[in-house]
Chain A
Amino acid sequence: MDLLDLAIYVLPPYVVATLAFGVAYRLSRYLFLWKRGYSAPRRARPIGKLLVGLVVTFLDPLVQAAKKRKSDFVGGLIALHILGVIPLIFLLSQHVAMFSYWIPLYSLLKPFAIPSSITSASQYFFANVLPASEMGWVFTNSVWGPLTLILNGDLLAILAIIGVSYKLGDKLVRLYHRLRHVRAGDFFDLALLLSILVTGFLATHHLPSPDVTTYRFMLGLHILLAELLVALLPFTKFWHFVFGYWYGKLHEWYELKFNRGSL
């Protein structure tokens, strides 16, 4: 059994079990710590304003970053999150195919799948022919149309690699300035993310050499590292996009806007 077989056929149940345990552990702590307290009557505000306030609560940090820290806005938010990691993880054609295999309902997202390479995207756009495929579903047949020239795995992976590298550089500069909040876990998480992106890119392009053994090793390594990330989700800062972000902003809205009326 090689690395690819191990990653695809052996490890997934263990990864899911670790993830489930971690999620249960993290969430249960919140539940066990909760107890009803006494609170002041809330300040009444119109429901429409409160709903607008809810959206604004999620937008405010983005606006502040765009205004006051452009490097983070471009590198951290646009390159890493919005154009990089999020569409890559959830909409890259290969990932949609894989998730659909495990979770059948995920196949609903097939029309939104993003082609993996610039070549297949440009074929679709310029040649107006569908690439030959024996599969029932053609990767490039997405709703994105000409946008696939930009929305393709190659470009998004490069943007994500730039984004992660920017964050790594930012951490190194902060470490050099002896800022207290920089810690070993930051580097581990970012290095893991970078490794996943680079191995995925190499596997897609059959690099560093085109032989099958190297390809299977690189793809196996890519999947293995991704599985490591999934297993570690609840125990690392990656938990932020599963829980922390949503809970934090909702709580902030509830406390400041719903309860205290600060609109």
Chain B
Amino acid sequence: MSWEGYNYEDVRRAAEETTSHLTPVSLHFLENCVSCALCEVNCPYTPVGEEYGPVSKAEPLRNIYRGKVNILPRLFPWLFGAKLPKTKEELDKWVDLAYHCTNCGLCYITCPFGIHSGEMIKTLRGFLAKTGRIPSLLKLMVDAETSGMFAENPGFRGLWEDVIRKTLEVANVEFDRKGAKYLYMPSLAEAMITPGAIPATARILSKLGLNWTMPRNPLSIRAPIGSLAGDDESVRVVAKRIYDYIKSIGAEYVVFSDGGYPYTFFRFDLPRIVGEEPSFKVVHVVELLVDALREGKVKFKQTQERITWHSPCKMGRFGGLIEEPVEVLSSISQNFVKLKSHGLFSKCCGGGGSIACIVPPTQEFMEKVMGIPLKVSENEKAFLDKLYRDMLIAGREKVQEIKESGASTVVTACIGCIHTLGFTTRAYDVKVTLKTLAEVVAEALD
């Protein structure tokens, strides 16, 4: 199957598979929407067009669901909006909708009925993947991660080795050490997008005097990248591989510096996917820092620099770490300032959910790193070009908040956010330095 293909039998089969795993929660999401469309007010993509409001983007999944699960819509599909895409163009439109969602969850907490449209759109991506519609770069990465082939790419290998070398310069690490209490889990994506975060985290863990280790080789591109494409099988394979590695080390704590979806995935989703209660706890490095600060085990050099915190949706809204980064950063800068939407309703950067990872400038970057030219069809190219323009519109409100804060440094902990804010702050000519939390903390360590 390819991006260009259309086969009704594939579409029908994909619909059957997509509706075969209902839970009470997904049933609620599918059945209890009253189409009030209040979710639109906070979606970063509504400014691109009302058609990209969460309620409209989730509707294709409801179209599939009604026709497969409910009796009356099966008999009178036209009356109940029960339909499958009948043409290639219609399928393309569904792809366009599904990839204009960052799954940031703002729609979830805005909805008067607690309906998480982003989660539904992720399921819709799974349906589209089964029909052959995954953006080429995402597909390449999913396949490379699932097979483990990414570790053999010379470009990736070079980036990783460079980070390992820098890590050894600041910390005395014994890699893959069994019996370590703390296992730090950086990803290849961090080595690509925020290479400074890995040695910085290593320095923090050493400074805190912890008994820790980290993998000598990357275990994934970003863990598991298939979840962004709705590829459940890939997610299971990659998650199990990493889970087995963690168990082989026997760590009590698994530490993440990437506060994007890897943190919430391993903390909250992993038990359900591997079907076990883990013997370890998953923490973000900021949790260790807050504990150390409160116990007086760490002190920072003070700065007057005006810095702010962009709360990544997965770490804040979905990870519960909203005020902890503020506590750490406030103890570093006396001029720390919160963004306007700080808190549960923190505005999305606009590029999550793989969007910033597949837009044309990222594709060019990845081609250079991997040394592999990626061919995309004219149709897909048009889709990606539009997606890039729309991503910049979606990120405008966050950039405006940053500008209004007057901060010279924006700190965050999600590599997707850093990557996206790089694009959007440049596009709107807002000159700020973007740094990871680990880098800022490591620089401030006494």
Which residues of A approach B to under 8 Å, CB–CB?
Answer: 29-31, 33-34, 37-41, 43, 45, 57, 60-62, 64-65, 68-69, 72, 76, 171, 174, 177-186, 237, 239-240, 243-245, 247-253, 256, 259-263
Contact = CB atoms under 8 A, between A and B. Distances in A.
14 contacts: A30-B24, A30-B27, A30-B28, A40-B278, A61-B110, A61-B111, A61-B112, A65-B38, A72-B38, A178-B51, A240-B34, A244-B32, A248-B113, A262-B316
Contacts of A30: 24, 27-28
Given A40-B268, A262-B320, A252 B108 contact: yes
Contacts of B80: 183-185
A143 to B, nearest CB: 29
Interface of B: 22-25, 27-28, 31-38, 41-42, 50-51, 53, 55-56, 58-60, 79-81, 97, 108-116, 267-268, 270-272, 274-278, 281-282, 316-320, 322, 344-345
A180 B114 CA distance: 20
B56 A181 contact: yes
Task: Name, among A180, A250, A251, A259, the residue most crowded by chain B CB atoms within 10 Å (CB to CB).
Answer: A180
Contacts of A263: 320, 322, 344
Main secondary structure of the interface of A (DSSP, over half): helix
Contacts of B318: 256, 260, 262
A236 to B, nearest CB: 10
Contacts of B37: 174, 179, 181
B113 A249 contact: yes
B28 A244 contact: yes
B35 A182 contact: yes
Nearest to A248: B114
Contacts, number: 149
A262 B275 contact: no
Nearest to A186: B35
B114 A43 contact: no
Contacts of B268: 39-40, 259-260
Contacts of A37: 271-272
A38 B277 contact: yes
A175 B270 CA distance: 41
Contact of B317 (A29, A57, A177, A262): A262
Contacts of A65: 38, 41
A38 B277 CA distance: 6
A40 B282 contact: yes
A237 B34 contact: yes
Given A34-B24, A64-B38, A256 B109 contact: yes
A231 to B, nearest CB: 15
Contacts of A174: 37, 50
Q: Report the 4 A-B pairs with minimum CB-CB distance, sorted nearest first.
A: A248-B114, A261-B320, A244-B32, A252-B114
Nearest to B66: A183
A244 B272 CA distance: 25
Contacts of A239: 32
Contacts of A262: 316-320, 322, 344
Contacts of A181: 33, 35, 37, 53, 55-56, 58-59
